[in-house]
Amino acid sequence: MTIPAFAPTAHTDTFARDHLPPLALWPELRFDLPELDYPARLNCAAELLDHAAGARAALRGEHATWTYDQLRAQVDRIAHVLRGPLALETGNRVLLRGTNTPLMAACVLAVIKAGCIAVPTMPLLRARELGAIAGKAKVDAVLCAQSLRAELGAVELPPAARTRTVYFGGAGHDSLSPESPESPESPESLEALMAAQPAQFAAADTALDDICLISFTSGTTGIPKGTMHFHRDVLAICDCFPRSVLGSRADDVFIGTPPLAFTFGLGGLLLFPLRVGACAVLLEKATPETLLAAIAAHRATVCFTAPTFYRQMAALIGACDPASRRSVSAGGASAPDHRYDLGTLRRSVSAGEALPTATRDAWRSATGLEMIDGIGATELLHIFISAADGNVRPGATGKPVPGYQACLLDHDGLPVGPGVIGRLAVKGPTGCRYLDDPRQADYVLNGWNLTGDAYEMDADGYFYYRSRTDDMIISAGYNIAGPEVEDALLRHPAVAECGVVGRADEQRGQIVEAHVVLKADVVPSAELVAQLQDFVKSQIAPYKYPRAVRFLASLPRTETGKLQRFRLRAPSAEGGQ
Ligand code: 3UK
């Protein structure tokens, strides 16, 4: 069933709706589950906040814990600030900048509850990128963490947004309640403005298909694309993957690394926990060590992070006693090491890029847990193919999450059967709608969202990731998927991390080139190169072995944990060995 778009909008500023793609270029939307049947008037932030869980913990930051009641009160005060002193109209866009803190989370929810549109931005973005986003989304206001203030000063903002820029969460007090007397607020601080506002705000009476979020893709090339999402989309992602695959519960404690400005993090660390009345731990900065320690300290039950983080955490844990899921020190097989007590962890979700089977295996032997791999995309908001528990097949991402459909298309847009690599095509309750962007026509074909991934399906309907469609290496006529070679290399004991790309070659068109980060105690050498090459040949078809091997100190990655293959292919990356 396709629900016709455009219920009467509550927005007085219709900029976002006016810049939706023409309906003919929309993906087909499907609402095949009864839980996706939302009322015509819907404010997703109000829906998530007006929870029975009032007195229970909702968000834990580094400095404080907020109950559901406290979170709602903070959100309501911020919503008043937006509609009162800042004089924003419904439908206005508010650019958001901050690391993962309770106050940043409250800002996102407040913008949406006030009927405005949240435009979250990744903390590491620089002035030029922020200026492009602010201009594209024509933002009307900015809420920015004090810690990210410096870069914002250099951003070219629309004049209305420049005069409506407010800072929050100064050093060490992002925990504060508005009444907190401890730190004098500058007059422009959000906290100072909040203190003068009532703690009850009546949510804007938005339509289920009013836009509430514009999320910019972390694309590696070209101008960032703004993906537009409705109130119902936000609830739809909560009612698909978390219900049918993750199985989230009110007593869960969510934790992880993806920024709230990345929809992987927004869902996993804010929307999903709130939807079931659970608690989320928000970490401002995390390393594999500090995430492990935080899982133990907060008795976390559900973890969201990228594959490379799991690999590094597995290496830190070392051997493990699967019965108690407590780490034991790498040297002594029986002496328990209580530094990292992961006994409460029951779910570990990996997304953002392909999960190598070698990493799945390393995490299982370190923790006893079977990882939940899931492919998501900013255009579709969250995960649409995944598997958990007994449905996991090594090497496969999984099956379409109930509510979504997927198939593989050939070059002509025709479906291919099992065992043939094709272009991944997806449809479901969420889908791609770029803000005023000609690339809409590249992402949507005959109602399907084309994610840009090359996948293969088996006879049982499991989907196996191969590579990005434009990353497939073609060497002497063979198609070689970099991630398969990476998975083979990761099984070698000397390899900490690696990235495999195609490099232009006169004779073969391209050759397979491996960029390898060695484990701390390993010394690079020509013998090691030969060893790694032989090792790959012993694991997968020999023609796939890396003809060139380069050693690097670290791999270039995005803030979302994705390997930047284009940087490995760049001529300047030709150094190394
Ligand atoms: C790749 C994966 C293999 C794939 C995202 C979960 O990553 C997210 O969104 P982005 O827009 O990137 C989308 C692209 O990333 N990818 C993501 N997950 C996997 N490839 N296996 C995976 N498990 O190329 C996809 O097209 O940054 C992930 C939830 C929300 C998200 N936005």
User: Tens-of-pLDDT digits for all 577 residues of the chain?
Assistant: 444 556 789 999 999 999 999 999 999 999 999 999 999 999 999 999 987 778 999 999 998 999 999 999 999 999 999 999 999 999 999 999 999 999 999 999 999 999 999 999 999 999 999 999 999 999 999 999 999 999 999 999 999 999 999 999 975 444 444 444 444 456 579 999 999 999 999 999 999 999 999 999 976 667 889 999 999 999 999 999 999 999 999 999 999 999 999 999 999 999 999 999 999 999 999 999 999 999 999 999 999 999 999 999 999 997 455 555 555 444 444 444 457 899 999 999 999 999 999 999 999 999 999 999 999 999 999 999 999 999 999 999 999 999 999 999 999 999 999 999 999 999 999 999 999 999 999 999 999 999 999 999 999 999 999 999 989 999 999 999 999 999 999 999 999 999 999 999 999 999 999 999 999 999 999 999 999 999 999 999 999 999 999 999 999 998 888 999 999 998 765 444 4
Residue 174 is predicted with a pLDDT of: 47
Rg for the chain, CA atoms, rounded: 24
In one-letter notation, the amino acid at residue 196 is A
165: nearest Cα among 147, 196, 190, 136: 190
**Ligand 1 site, residue 272, Cβ cutoff 6 A:** no
Residue 5 is predicted with a pLDDT of: 55
Residue 61's SS3 state is coil
Residue 223 is predicted with a pLDDT of: 80
Centre of ligand 1 from the C-alpha of residue 471, in Å: 15
Prediction pTM value: 0.93
**Ligand 1 site, residue 452, Cβ cutoff 6 A:** yes
Residue 220 is predicted with a pLDDT of: 60
374: nearest Cα among 348, 341, 339: 348
Residue 559 is predicted with a pLDDT of: 86
User: Best mutation site among 349, 432, 453, 456 for ligand 1, i.e. most ligand atoms within 8 A of its Cβ?
Assistant: 453
Nearest CA to ligand 1 atom 26: 451
307: nearest Cα among 231, 358, 259, 265: 358
**Ligand 1 site, residue 92, Cβ cutoff 6 A:** no
Centre of ligand 1 from the C-alpha of residue 63, in Å: 31
Nearest CA to ligand 1 atom 7: 352
471: nearest Cα among 513, 508, 443: 513
Tell me the C-alpha to C-alpha distance, in Å, between residue 345 and each of 269, 273, 294, 307, 369: 15, 15, 11, 17, 8
Residue 219 is predicted with a pLDDT of: 64
At 531, which helix (H) or strand (E)? helix 526-539
Residue 53 is predicted with a pLDDT of: 73
Residue 7 is predicted with a pLDDT of: 75
Centre of ligand 1 from the C-alpha of residue 377, in Å: 5
**Ligand 1 site, residue 376, Cβ cutoff 6 A:** yes
Pairing of strands 326-328, 141-145: unpaired
Residue 334 is predicted with a pLDDT of: 44
Residue 8 is predicted with a pLDDT of: 86
**Ligand 1 site, residue 271, Cβ cutoff 6 A:** no
Which contacts (CB < 8 Å, 24+ apart) does range 340-343 have? 340/292, 340/293, 340/295, 340/296, 340/316, 341/296, 342/292, 342/295, 342/296, 342/317, 342/367
Residue 323 is predicted with a pLDDT of: 54
Residues 495-532 as b/e (b if ≥16 CB within 10 A, e otherwise) read bbbbbbbbbeeeebebbbbbbbbbeeebebeeebbeeb
Residue 318 is predicted with a pLDDT of: 78
**Ligand 1 site, residue 225, Cβ cutoff 6 A:** no
DSSP annotation of 415 = B
Centre of ligand 1 from the C-alpha of residue 558, in Å: 12
**Ligand 1 site, residue 430, Cβ cutoff 6 A:** no
Contact 326, 341 (CB under 8 A): yes
Centre of ligand 1 from the C-alpha of residue 567, in Å: 19
**Ligand 1 site, residue 312, Cβ cutoff 6 A:** no
